[in-house]
Amino acid sequence: MKTAVTKIDEAYARIRQADRPEIWIALREEQDVRAEAAEIDARVAAGERLPLAGVLVAVKDNIDVAGLPTTAGSPAYAYSPAVDAPAVERLRIAGAIVLGKTNLDQFATGLVGTRSPYGPVRNAWRPDRISGGSSSGSAVAVALSLVDISLGTDTAGSGRVPAALNGIVGIKPTIGLVPATGVVPACRSLDCVTVFARDLALGRRAIEIMSGPDGVDPRCRTDLPAAPLDAAPRIAVPTAEHLDGLAEGWAEAFEGVVAQLESAGVEIVEVDIAPLLDAAALLYGGAFVAERTAAVGDFIRDNPALVGPDIDPTVAQIVLGGDAQTATQYFRDRETLDRLKLEGLGRLDGAVALLTPTTTWHPTLDEVAADPIGANSKMGRYTNFANLMDLSALAVPAGIVGGLPFGVMLTGAAFADRTLAEIGRLIQAPALDVLVVGAHLSGQPLNHQLVAAGATFLRETRTAPEYRMYALDTVPPKPGLERVAEGGAPILGEVWRLPAAGFGRFVAALPQPMAVGQISLEDGTAVTGFQCEPVATGGARDISEFGGWRDYLDTLTA
């Protein structure tokens, strides 16, 4: 198992390799983080139990981290918190290590990831596409394997939409389970702290550790025991008319997820979700937007000269739009929402969750720039109603369509968080473990191909002593691994977990003379890996004596 110090060294190497400065608003000095990691390693070695020992975390920059400014995406708004937000503090107590603060749609207002003076955050898979927001940097940091988990916030879908667009898990807990103390409010009564992860189990562990009242946040609530999931749970899906307008291929991908659940014994029922979609429109189209005005409206109103250079004009327009709302309209909208909730949830009676696509499309940066408000409004079709109705939700990756991630979402009652996680495990696409030994290793020039295919780093390991490694004459340089009957050596490599769909993409990009096969490991297990056809090793230098590709490369630069 890797030490925390080793993980830090590799993480900063990946950050440099990724060259995505727009992800970070503040990144801690590597030497400071390394010293903290060394302390974690020492505590573990002394026998201390730390459930998140060495887990690397990025934090959305509207959540306080002591020692780093909180900007909420606006340099002029920045302040220096004296203490961590409780959510951050609880992760750190459990052994997690914060690397830095991430970019966001300013004041958490948006689902696109482009509304920031620190620059738009590009998608982890395709840099011409949006990352989704508002928790844009947090999602991409996880998707690119720069950190293990990250914290976001979610008011309208900000903890779910970026997860879907970057092929990762987004966990939106019931409002109040995780304290929102130390979080710059977007809509105080609706905001919740969320988690992004590549692994659902790790993400859920982080949620459980952060949960519980802190004595400060008045909206905190104590979790309720989850009812056992039925052997044949009932899940609702929208009728066809409410799946209209999805991006090309997404409707078919959604049908595939439904079929997958049915084959797992889940009962599927179609329901008319019109009341839920009508409620979603109230979040920005009604008086509820005035809560955003209450949060940061005074700051924007008092600094008109900053609109443009510092304050995003679209954000300013949305936030100040609440000034036109009245208390009378709020109570009218509150009554409308209550009636829509009664009708909408009544139609789901007997279903443990509603399954939908997480969002409706994946636009380019140019498409959002051309129509910033219209493009954004399409993103929240299935997410906007959840917090208005006090619901829990979980976004999980569900395959690849047109070379980009496709994701689905489970929405359930308040405190159904653990139940949604059980169902989510049925949805997550099958994956397989793959050994890489050369140019696809962490920090090497082709590692980005693994990351783009949705891979997650698992561990460092060695092969059984049955292989020889050769330096092939390729660009970029890479080795060939050949199994031999005798005279083999253990070769150092890394195991990455690839979604089945991502594996297909990855293999399709492999040039000859590479061939897929089973690689035996030193612990007696076997994983999928890539061996070189013997025809390519003739005349190539045998570098097995170095024990691994990196050690061989070091000799070339010594």
Task: Encode pLDDT of 321-363 as tens digits.
Answer: 999 999 999 999 999 999 999 999 999 988 999 999 999 999 9
Give domain status of residue 463, yes or no: yes
Asked if 148 and 201 count as a contact pair (C-beta separation under 8 A), the reply is: no
User: How high is the pLDDT of residue 451?
Assistant: 75
Residues 470 and 405 in one domain: no
* Residue 284, SS3 per DSSP: helix
Residues 161 and 221 in one domain: yes
CA atoms within 13 A on the CB side of 411: 26
- DSSP H or E run through 293: helix 290-302
- What is the pTM assigned to this prediction? 0.81
User: How high is the pLDDT of residue 125?
Assistant: 87
Give domain status of residue 71, yes or no: yes
Give domain status of residue 90, yes or no: yes
Going by DSSP bridges, is the β-strand pair 56-60/97-102 parallel, antiparallel, or unpaired?
parallel
The CATH number given to whatever domain includes residue 542 is: 3.10.490.10
Distance CA 446, CA 398 (A): 25
- Paired tokens of 110: 């948006």
Of 376, 410, 428, which marks where a domain is finished? 428
Residues 416 and 446 in one domain: no
Residues 501 and 360 in one domain: no
User: How high is the pLDDT of residue 203?
Assistant: 97
Catalytic residue among 74, 116, 134, 442: 134
Of 428, 458, 486, which marks where a domain is finished? 428
Dihedral-angle region of residue 472 (phi above 0 means left; psi in -120 to 50 means alpha; beta otherwise):
beta
Distance CA 411, CA 392 (A): 6
Strand partners, 24: 102
- Cis before 218 (ω within 30): no
Residues 23 and 123 in one domain: yes
Distance CA 481, CA 286 (A): 62
Residues 551 and 530 in one domain: yes
Q: Is 134 a catalytic residue?
A: yes
Asked if 112 and 162 count as a contact pair (C-beta separation under 8 A), the reply is: no
Going by DSSP bridges, is the β-strand pair 169-172/392-401 parallel, antiparallel, or unpaired?
antiparallel
Residue with tokens 């696509």: 357
- Cis before 513 (ω within 30): yes
Which pairs from 118-122 meet CB under 8 Å and 24+ separation? 118/22, 118/25, 118/73, 119/21, 119/22, 120/22, 120/365, 121/20, 121/22, 121/23, 122/20, 122/22, 122/365
Asked if 183 and 162 count as a contact pair (C-beta separation under 8 A), the reply is: no
User: Could you report the per-residue pLDDT of 71-87, keeping only the tens digit for each?
Assistant: 999 999 999 999 999 99
Residues 399 and 443 in one domain: no
Alpha helices in 24-135 (DSSP H): 30-45, 86-93
**Other C-beta atoms within 10 Å of 249: how many?**
14
- DSSP H or E run through 448: helix 447-452
User: How high is the pLDDT of residue 457?
Assistant: 79
Dihedral-angle region of residue 402 (phi above 0 means left; psi in -120 to 50 means alpha; beta otherwise):
left
User: How high is the pLDDT of residue 501?
Assistant: 57
Residues 398 and 369 in one domain: yes
Residues 442 and 475 in one domain: yes
- Backbone φ, ψ for residue 149 (5° rounding): -140, 165
Cα 207 versus chain centre, distance: 14
Domain count, the chain: 2
Cα 527 versus chain centre, distance: 26
The CATH number given to whatever domain includes residue 390 is: 3.90.1300.10
CA atoms within 13 A on the CB side of 311: 22
Q: Which regions of the chain are under pLDDT 50?
A: none
Residues 70 and 117 in one domain: yes
Catalytic residue among 131, 158, 392, 442: 158
Strand partners, 493: 461
Going by DSSP bridges, is the β-strand pair 492-499/541-542 parallel, antiparallel, or unpaired?
unpaired
Residue-number span of the structural domain to which 171 is assigned:
4-226+352-428
Give domain status of residue 280, yes or no: no
Q: Is 158 a catalytic residue?
A: yes
Give domain status of residue 143, yes or no: yes
Strand partners, 454: none
Sheet bearing 24-27, strands edge to edge? 24-27, 97-102, 56-60, 149-154, 192-197, 169-172, 392-401, 404-412, 353-357, 234-238, 267-271
Give domain status of residue 231, yes or no: no
Give domain status of residue 417, yes or no: yes
Residues 479 and 376 in one domain: no
Alpha-carbon dihedral sign for residues 104, 122, 146, 177 = positive
User: How high is the pLDDT of residue 225?
Assistant: 75
Catalytic residue among 7, 60, 101, 341: 60
Of 411, 428, 445, which marks where a domain is finished? 428
Alpha-carbon dihedral sign for residues 333, 338, 343, 349 = positive
Taking Cα atoms as reference points, which of 507, 482, 357 lies closest to residue 432?
507
Asked if 34 and 112 count as a contact pair (C-beta separation under 8 A), the reply is: no
Residues 484 and 405 in one domain: no
User: How high is the pLDDT of residue 43?
Assistant: 98
**Other C-beta atoms within 10 Å of 182: how many?**
23
Give domain status of residue 311, yes or no: no
Distance CA 384, CA 393 (A): 11
